[in-house]
Structure 1
């Protein structure tokens, strides 16, 4: 009788557990498309946030700034001064300054209406991307854009104008334009330092100091020259004004 009573109690207690398992399965089967869509949107948002540094480099003025500052540091002859953190931070804040109107337009026309549930995600994405498109169109070289447009035609892709170009065409054209302009500005910056190096090397060779590296002597003169002409003020001002 005790064994029978124990078996009966186990059977009664197992019935709710099996019912709960069936209910969980039913809940899983009753997932709506909106829930799945919300999960996909959340995953897409996390992906965009993880790629934010790369997007910042691709569609903003950061590329030109960091290239010019790196060439300047190499031209002076200081491999680690200013430090990479300082150059990157300065480039970021200059990027925020130059891209301020673009960021404000994207926020006011795309992000705020989306947060207020006034527009859908698809429309908000187009409104956010449009200011960056206008910035890239204003600063891309026609020759670089024509290169990628011709490559798209060779692959039988859409033939569009620069105002309606796909980001797959506009972004790489804008990046190589920025790289070219960065090297052009860097070349003009390095020339005075190269002249100082040549003058110092000529003087040290004429004095018979064969074992003395000219860079050791020219480094203080290059730093002094850059400070006397207020180089940072001139360089930063010129870089900011170089953007349309």
Structure 2
């Protein structure tokens, strides 16, 4: 019976693992930013979604490695047993302190308090209290962290997108002046956007190249 319970717990953990990785790590930020950059370049299929997700996953593993190591060492020291419910609950509350600290660090306090109040709205506790880091539930931190990372990713994507908008405007205005058709103008835009990336985002080089190419 105990082996069956342990097997069910392990299978449940592995079932939830992809969702935790997608929404509870840096993967959510990397994946959004990469898609925004691809759209800014005007490339719909290059790199492919699998490539972008693979790179985002590798970078997320690198960033989250210290947190993962701490969780692993805590599980070894506390003798985590999936046969004992109390052991699992204790590990989530104490053994994952490093991951919990990570979530607190990168979550907006307003969102954390919002989800914590919603979670305790039906309890007898005072909902107006200011929650301490030690008392915050990890189930309140996860949605707060996900929304915070999405907001942060869109802010980063906005600043990355702006230079490519400038490139579009420059190429479009020059193309109108020399009366290029839409196909030629589009080819120049794609070429100069890629050139913009290859030159580490130096807009002056793109403008010079455009000037010499057209004139």
| TM-score, normalised via structure 2 length | 0.79
Question: Quick check: 2:113–2:131 contact (8 Å CA) kept in 1?
Answer: no
Counterpart pick for 1:161 among 99, 113, 131 = 131
Question: Quick check: 2:81–2:88 contact (8 Å CA) kept in 1?
Answer: no
Q: Indicate yes or no: 2:205 matched with 1:205.
A: no
Provide Cα deviations, 1:33-65, integer angstroms capped at 9, x if missing partner. Answer: xx2x43223112101112211111222111011
Question: Quick check: 1:144–1:173 contact (8 Å CA) kept in 2?
Answer: yes
Which residue in the other structure is 1:32 paired with? none
Distance 1:62 1:143 in 2: 22
Q: How does 1:24-173 map to 2 (within 5 A)?
A: 35=1, 37-111=2-76, 113-114=78-79, 120-152=87-119, 154-156=121-123, 159=127, 161-163=131-133, 164-173=135-144
Gaps of 5+ in 2: 203-215
SS of residue in 2 equivalent to 1:114? coil
Q: Is the alpha carbon distance of 1:157 and 1:201 closer, same or farther for their aligned partners in structure 2, counting shifts above 3 Å?
A: farther
Q: How many positions carry a matched residue from both structures?
A: 195
Per the TM alignment, residue 130 of structure 1 is displaced from its structure 2 partner at its CA by: 2.1
Which residue in the other structure is 2:197 paired with? 226
Q: Greater shift after overlay, 93-102 or 212-221?
A: 212-221
Q: Is the alpha carbon distance of 1:157 and 1:191 closer, same or farther for their aligned partners in structure 2, counting shifts above 3 Å?
A: farther
Question: Quick check: 1:77–1:219 contact (8 Å CA) kept in 2?
Answer: yes
Which residue in the other structure is 1:182 paired with? 153
How well do the aligned residues superpose, as a CA RMSD in angstroms? 2.6
SS of residue in 1 equivalent to 2:31? helix
Give 1 or 2 for the bigger CA radius of gyration.
Answer: 1
